[in-house]
Structure 1
Amino acid sequence: MTTVSVVLHAPAWGPQHTTPCQAEPELFFPVSEDGPRSIAQITKAKRLCRGCSRVEDCLQNALDEGHDHGIWGGTTTAERRDIRRRRKTAGAAR
Structure 2
Amino acid sequence: MSALNVCLPSPIAESWDWQLSAACRDADPAVFFHPDNERGEPRASRVRAAKRICLRCPVRARCLNYALDSSERHGIWGGYTEDERRTLQKRREMQSSPASIRPGHQDCGRTLAARAIQ
Q: TM-score, normalised by structure 2?
A: 0.61
Which one has the bigger helix percentage? 1
Q: Does the CA-based 8 Å contact 1:33-1:42 persist in structure 2?
A: no
Q: TM-score, normalised by structure 1?
A: 0.75
Which residues of structure 2 form unaligned runs of 5+?
1-15, 100-118
> Which of 1 and 2 has greater Rg?
2
- Which structure 2 residues correspond to residues 1-94 of structure 1 after superposition, within 5 A? 11-13=16-18, 15=20, 17=21, 19-23=22-26, 24-31=28-35, 34-94=39-99
SS at match of 1:13: helix
Which residues of structure 1 form unaligned runs of 5+?
1-10
Structure 1 residue 33, shift from structure 2 partner: 7.1
Aligned length: 82
Say what the alpha-carbon RMSD is for the aligned residues: 1.9
The letter for the 2-side match of 1:21 is C
Please give the per-residue CA displacement for 1:10-43, whole angstroms capped at 9, x wherever unaligned.
x44365x2x3322122211023674100100000
